[in-house]
Structure 1
Amino acid sequence: MERKGNTIALLLIGIGGIILLSKLGWLLGGLMEYLIPIALIALGYYGVKAGNRFFGGLFIIIGAFSLIGEFAWLIGLIIAIAMIGFGVKMLKDRRNYHY
């Protein structure tokens, strides 16, 4: 008979082992950088649904911040492109108005 806490305990042990192997460079390389935050969000969602709002919410927050950190380069790229586009638009608008 499986007890309620065994599933989460085994899942945490498995995720911890995967993290350890990836840090040692033995498993999936860069893919783990995205899988771990997604797994934390999923585990947090499962925790919230199971009634443990505090730890579930904590896992969701940690996973979300980690995932945002992984995509920081993309966010910076989008901001840089938007700044360039806005600057070009300002220059074009200024040329249309002759004082």
Structure 2
Amino acid sequence: MKNRNNGTAIVLIAIGALMLFGLFAPLFGKLIGLLFPILMIVLGYYGIRRGRVVIGTIILAFGALSLLAKLSWFIGPLLGIALVIFGISLLKGKRNSY
């Protein structure tokens, strides 16, 4: 009985510490927020490898979409930079062809 209470206490302390880190350290909170989608992707991949293709694909897709949504603040500016660089390379390419 005492060992079971110790395990519960440790789990509660760990969850509370993660919640506090999320409040007091926004960067650490964002990293913890990324952990769940990454775990979904890993579990989906593991499910596909184990032969559960349908459920593994569904879990992997949800994880990938969730991760994409959480990283949209980073992906948007990268896409913008890539479009500007691609546009400049197209303009330089047209000048060299004349």
TM-score category, normalised to shorter length: 0.5 to 0.7
Deviation at 1:26, TM superposition (A): 4.0
Change (3 A) 1:87 1:47: closer
Q: How far apart, in 2, do the equivalents of 1:64 and 1:40 lie? A: 8
Identical residues among aligned pairs (%): 36
Matches within 5 A, 1:1-99: 25-26=19-20, 28=22, 29-85=29-85, 90=91
**CA-based RMSD:** 3.0
Q: How far apart, in 1, do the equivalents of 2:66 and 2:43 lie? A: 14
The structure whose residues are more often helix, as a share, is 2
Gaps of 5+ in 1: 1-13, 95-99
Change (3 A) 1:85 1:36: same
Runs of 4+ in 1 over 3 A off after TM superposition: 25-28, 82-90
Deviation at 1:45, TM superposition (A): 1.1
1:54 counterpart letter in structure 2: V
Q: How far apart, in 1, do the equivalents of 2:78 and 2:65 lie? A: 18
Q: How far apart, in 1, do the equivalents of 2:54 and 2:77 lie? A: 34
Which stretch shows the higher mean deviation, 35-44 or 25-34?
Answer: 25-34
TM-score, normalised to structure 1's length?
A: 0.55
- Where 2:51 maps in the other structure, the secondary structure is coil
Change (3 A) 1:47 1:88: closer
Change (3 A) 1:30 1:88: same
Gaps of 5+ in 2: 1-10, 23-28
Which stretch shows the higher mean deviation, 56-65 or 72-81?
Answer: 72-81
